[in-house]
Amino acid sequence: MAELSRLVVGIDLEPAYVERIREAFPDLEVVVCTEPAELPAALAGAQGLVTWRVPPEALAAATALRWVHFAGAGVDGVLSPALVERNLVVTNNSGVAAPNIAEHLLAMMLAFARGLPELMRYQVRHEWHHPSRRFELGGQTLGVVGLGDIGAELAWRAAALGMRVIGLRRRPGEPPRGVERVYPPEALHELLGESDHVAICLPLTPRTRHLFGPAEFRAMHRDAYLYNIGRGAIVDQEALIAALQAGEIAGAGLDVTDPEPLPPDSPLWDMPNVLITNHTSGGTPRYWERGIEVLLDNIGRFRRDEPLRNVVDQREGY
């Protein structure tokens, strides 16, 4: 049995959830420490840490630390070289926000289908007009680039609306629910050419940085829409702006940009065929309702020397 006698919760977790940890593991010392300056001292003798990020000084002081659980899903900004060098077990909350992010993506798709961005501009101006373009999602093809938790949640929801869903992922295997066909990474352009809507559901890694550039936008059809809820740097933003200005694609729904916040002078703000939602797709009142189950499960698994859920491949970056 792996020792886990002291767990530091370095986030502002609701007291009810902290109490659930203590009730489930009465012999586990649970220390709540939300002040960064106090974290190094709190980590003395602690084998586990729940956090958004690990400050260098805290990591250096945590000599007994064996496991870090990140409260978020993306780890591109928190996997420091010093942390990777320690060779600790690192897990995250991947999948916890997948249902609401999938709904957010569908909301953007439906908004374009019903002309809502244009109608909302008319409403602000107190003008009564019909939108210039409307269509139905049913019968159209959605290409999901990245069939992890978010991509899988999106796929079956889109299929329920009558969409044909195809996807792309690195590892072979059975298609997730609602997915008609799975393409390997080298067939990205083939997937793009078939899709009326392309949803980027990838983490940011060295492999995925600027995965979408001029060639990818040329591979899409002119009436296709791009959506990004992964990380802004997965898309070459200048190339996206050029593609939108040239009419190479019909529009874009962007929850993430590069950089963030998006500068006020970015042309994207004023484009009528662009939806910007300011990195809000992950927000949900049910986040820790699901997240606490992952954390409790992993505490038990760690103590039983069983494989943990959501283990991060620190070399690959996700």
Active site residues: 231, 260, 279
**Residue 53 neighbours by CB under 8 Å, 6+ apart:** 70, 77, 78
Q: Cα 166 to the chain's mean position, in Å?
A: 19
Do residues 84 and 65 lie in contact, with contact meaning Cβ atoms separated by under 8 Å?
Answer: no
H-state helical runs in 77-196: 81-86, 98-113, 116-125, 149-160, 188-194
**109: three-class secondary structure by DSSP:** helix
Measure the CA–CA gap between 204 and 202, rounded to whole angstroms. 7
**Element holding 18 (H helix, E strand):** helix 15-24
**Residue 216 neighbours by CB under 8 Å, 6+ apart:** 188, 189, 192
Task: Calculate the alpha carbon distances from 261 to 232, 266, 269, 277, 279 in Å.
Answer: 10, 11, 12, 11, 9
Which amino acid appears at position 50 of this protein?
A: V
